[in-house]
Amino acid sequence: MQPGATTCTEDRIQHALERCLHGLSLSRHAASWSAGLCLNCWSLQELVSRDPGHFLILLEQILRKTREVQEKGTYDLLMPLALLFYSTVLCTPHFPPDSDLLLQASRTYHRFLAWPVPYCSISQEMLTFIDAELKAPGISYQRLVRAEQGLPIRRHRSSTV
């Protein structure tokens, strides 16, 4: 495949991501959310859930778009992209051993620390999440399930190292 060339699946995922972000800009005249945004998000989730490899493609697309947001200074898209990245990582069934997506994400979100509040706070939360996932893959998902189910969360450290 030629450099810069994409597959049909990558193009479809990129288009679905763009549809999810369309209309979220503060410069839009409509100040209310539309049902179309929810439908676009649902369509993106359905498309990605068809194959475990699609999650990695979506993560790459989200990081690409996040870097674009940083270059353009588009403040209003940082939070939706961060939420999409967070939820996609939680849903990703497996990261290949040679994948450096989380390291790329760490470098990407680190650049936002110089942005004003609340954007630097969002970045800090993402960096904490990414760091936890790098140390123990799947830990965020386990904690989320425990919290949703009301299961006790151990606060003390294990005696085994």
Interval 33-47: pLDDT, tens: 555 566 777 788 888
Closest CA to 12 of 54, 52, 42: 54
Q: Give me the pLDDT at residue 32, please.
A: 53
Alpha-helical (H) ranges within the chain are 8-21, 35-48, 52-72, 78-91, 101-110, 119-135, 139-149
Q: What is the pLDDT of residues 60-93, one digit of tens each?
A: 999 999 999 999 988 888 999 999 999 899 888 8
Whether this prediction's pTM lies above 0.75 is answered by yes
In the prediction, which pLDDT does 101 show? Answer: 95
**Distance separating the N- and C-terminal Cα atoms of the chain:** 46
Sign of CA dihedral 59, 61, 62, 64: positive
Cβ atoms of 124 and 83 closer than 8 Å: no
